[in-house]
Chains A and B, each alone.
Chain A
């Protein structure tokens, strides 16, 4: 209370500062006048009275000051004065100030961004009740467990109060006829919501009753977001019927806004009982198969049960299961409980690893920023020796000077921190608004919160201690007399010191990063011209999953044939074709392939081919070159001899130099005849080695997925619209995914390279700025310490070039060492990048040359200002001043 009163009083005084000052002097003047008056009344002459009063009262200005102090304003005044003085100092050195704030902002911004990521993904618990009791099960290094095994663990364990199973899946959701959407959501056991302890916004969640028998409880819970976006937040939706994959489901509840499900990285659209599995994944019946590892399991440990006890209990049950089902259960697999939310240990391990690396890099970056700043401040401190000497001489206490210098550091750090938080906020905002064109509802929201803000503030204050304290203490050690007499500082300049080593290693580091980022960027540039095996320009595609609509193989084969006829007749499309799944997307099938005219090789020697199902015309449409034989045509249909087109690599691997056309191969469980050979492309990743691939006609095999590809010169939107219309005319229930031009869809396989390029160039730029500030500080420091020496040299007739050489000689040596070291490092370790370098050698000379030129340019720029200062030193001036 007392503190509050004082604070209020201080606040009032500050607010009405002018009034307060006027009152103060009025009050003291009144006192003086009363004094004079009473003196006059006592019989003095007016003159005398005035003098007597003056003598008695003393220094009024001092009293005023003391009154201000009594009100607590004094402290504020000092702060403001120190702050003003600091601002004036900054204005005198705008370049230094800008560099200091900018590098600090970058360093603090990088740290804040990484911390936001860690806080959001690793530290923030799931949005459920008592999340600290929840553990995700990992078994033998896997996160998937088969459903029958889950049931046994659920019923036999003694350590979990609840054990839930769930799985993430796509589905077709129809709200009304012709309103069909592809959605992603959870199949969950009946105890899911109860175990997580979440409450619905509307309606009632399904409970354990849904587990009793398969396909008997067609109910669905919608996410808040989906309900908002697709049902216009209509509360009458509870009890209504919607269709999922063509089957009726009743909406029973809407989840609360913050509840996105039981995994952090995905945000779910819906939840259905796991017993409805057959309707969500038609034709994929794993509910009763102990061998299919399909569900993720999470449990709530009972009170006072440790994690180790939990694991031990599960291991015991696992051993019993392994005895009962020796073919399906591995007796050696051990359980591992980990924090939930990142697919058990599946993503948590890698995420933690990446976070540690990022945090370390960011912290090291900030440390380097501070070291550079400290050396710049040291350089300034020796420039300011005279000023500090004078201030000491006129009576400033060392404490006052320290306070002044630390105020400057504080202002720098605060501006840097503020700007850094802004940068981090911007990056997070950008990341949150980024919706990658993947067929998965990734949860990319990154929100800086209070914890992040505290982190930023703490980080900013740490930087003050790192960069401000040492130079300030150094400045305070200024000896009064020599600094006023302008004698040089005692102590000799060491030939090499830590600062040189740091600057050289910063240059080396930035050379490494610059070379790497240029390499990756060039790789990206070349990526579209390497042998993709198809031509991504001027082509579009849409994908559909007919199995979700319960199509039989026969029916989907007929659908594909009709679709092809219909699409081929569309105006504006040069050609169309169907493939099960475009190369370079996830979901490829690998099947063993071998020559039919030779005995089946042992399993370990068996080659595998990636298998695609294609329609006639696909190769022409995709731009895949046919090297020999024929394309698949309309005569290859059910009943006619089974045929296959293989790629060159496959032909070579199986037949060497023999002509493979007309030969038969065993592919999976069937025997097929080779009719054509196409060029080898990229199938799983852009960096892969040539891989065998086989293309079977869809008319003979049918497909799970259908991707309709069209070559066209129409704009993407328009072409995609035509394809959609053709599909919907055949079945209005269909939903689409991976829609767009083939070029856009390359974003997915190129994602690792893009991310690498972005991260490398950001770090590269950062490292370059650091190296530049380091160099700048080094040269500035050496120039200001050698001012006197340079002055003498010039007075004795040294040329400007000689002075420059003496100032820059060492710096140039440092640069050369740094660049050489960086290039050597990259030459040695560049192969580590080969996975994201497409068609570019990790030793590409042009890249090295570019990077070295760039670095030299930056070094030159950084040295320019302080070096120019050295040659503009006027010998007469310096010598007179010193």
Chain B
């Protein structure tokens, strides 16, 4: 396993919001899903994941509930709030604009 790609803070927020927008997910599953979908390119460390989750919760974008996990253990499941949904939309747009722009610049001859 190589050195995990460093994530810009804003990008991690976007990844988390996007991941939990499908269904309520717990911290470990979020990390796994991100790794899986990015084909192991994006490795989210525990040390950045949880502070980010708590910050997002503190800002009121995500909500946490304790639920039973698939293997019948109590785990904390995060889901989007209304404000979080709005934030995700805004960040997605921002990201698309930014990556599009960067793409244009680096693809230009």
Contact = CB atoms under 8 A, between A and B. Distances in A.
A58 interface: yes
A28 B51 contact: no
Given A27-B75, A70-B52, A70-B58, 5 more contacts: A23-B76, A30-B69, A59-B47, A66-B47, A71-B54
Interface string A59-91: 110110011111110000000000000000000
Interface in B44-63: 45-47, 50-55, 57-60
Contact of B76 (A27, A60, A62): A27
B28 A30 contact: yes
Nearest to B59: A6
Interface residues of B, number: 26
A26 B31 CA distance: 17
Nearest to B29: A34
B1 to A, nearest CB: 9
Contacts of A56: 46
8 contacts: A26-B74, A28-B46, A62-B47, A67-B51, A67-B53, A70-B54, A70-B58, A71-B57
Nearest 5 A/B pairs, CB to CB: A70-B55, A66-B51, A5-B60, A70-B54, A34-B28
A400 interface: no
Given A31-B28, A71-B54, A2 B59 contact: yes
B55 to A, nearest CB: 4
Contact of B45 (A26, A58, A69): A58
Contacts of A2: 59-60
Contacts of B54: 67-68, 70-71
A57 interface: yes
Contacts of B47: 57-59, 62-63, 66
Nearest to B81: A5
B50 A67 contact: yes
Contacts of B69: 30
Given A6-B58, A35-B28, A70-B55, A63 B46 contact: yes
Contacts of A60: 46
Interface of B is mostly: helix
A27 B27 contact: yes
Contacts of A70: 51-52, 54-55, 58
Interface in B66-83: 66, 69, 71, 73-76, 83
B26 interface: yes
Interface of A: 2, 5-6, 9-10, 13, 23, 26-28, 30-31, 33-35, 37-38, 56-60, 62-63, 66-72
Contacts of A72: 58
A71 B74 CA distance: 22
Nearest to B1: A56
B26 A9 contact: no
A405 to B, nearest CB: 30
B78 to A, nearest CB: 10
Contacts of A69: 51
A11 to B, nearest CB: 11
Interface of A is mostly: helix
A30 B76 CA distance: 9
Contacts of B46: 28, 31, 56-58, 60, 63
A645 B14 CA distance: 107
B60 A28 contact: no
B20 to A, nearest CB: 15
A7 to B, nearest CB: 10
Contacts of B58: 6, 9-10, 13, 70-72
A33 B66 CA distance: 17
A470 to B, nearest CB: 38
B16 to A, nearest CB: 13
Nearest to B76: A27
B45 A30 contact: no
Contacts of A37: 71
A26 B66 CA distance: 11
A30 B51 contact: no
Contacts of B31: 31
A68 B54 CA distance: 8
Contacts of B45: 58
B71 to A, nearest CB: 8
B76 A26 contact: yes
A371 B32 CA distance: 63
Contacts of B60: 2, 5-6, 9
Contacts of A5: 59-60, 83
B50 A66 contact: yes
Contacts of B55: 70-71
B83 to A, nearest CB: 8
Interface in B1-41: 26-28, 31-32
Contact of B57 (A9, A58, A59, A62): A9
Contacts of B50: 27-28, 31, 63, 66-67
Contacts of A31: 27-28, 31, 46, 50
Contacts of B32: 38
A38 B70 CA distance: 14
Contacts of B76: 23, 26-27, 30
B69 to A, nearest CB: 8
Contacts of A71: 54-55, 57-58
A313 B54 CA distance: 73
A27 B49 CA distance: 12
Interface centre among A27, A28, A57, A60 (most CB of B within 10 A): A27
Nearest to A30: B75
A71 B55 CA distance: 6
Interface centre among B32, B47, B57, B74 (most CB of A within 10 A): B47
B77 to A, nearest CB: 10
A407 to B, nearest CB: 25
Nearest to A65: B51
Contacts of A6: 58-60
Nearest to A27: B76
A158 B47 CA distance: 80
Interface centre among A30, A58, A60, A69 (most CB of B within 10 A): A30
Contacts of B28: 30-31, 34-35
A152 B31 CA distance: 93
A71 B50 CA distance: 11
Contacts of B27: 27, 30-31
A506 to B, nearest CB: 52
A9 B8 CA distance: 25
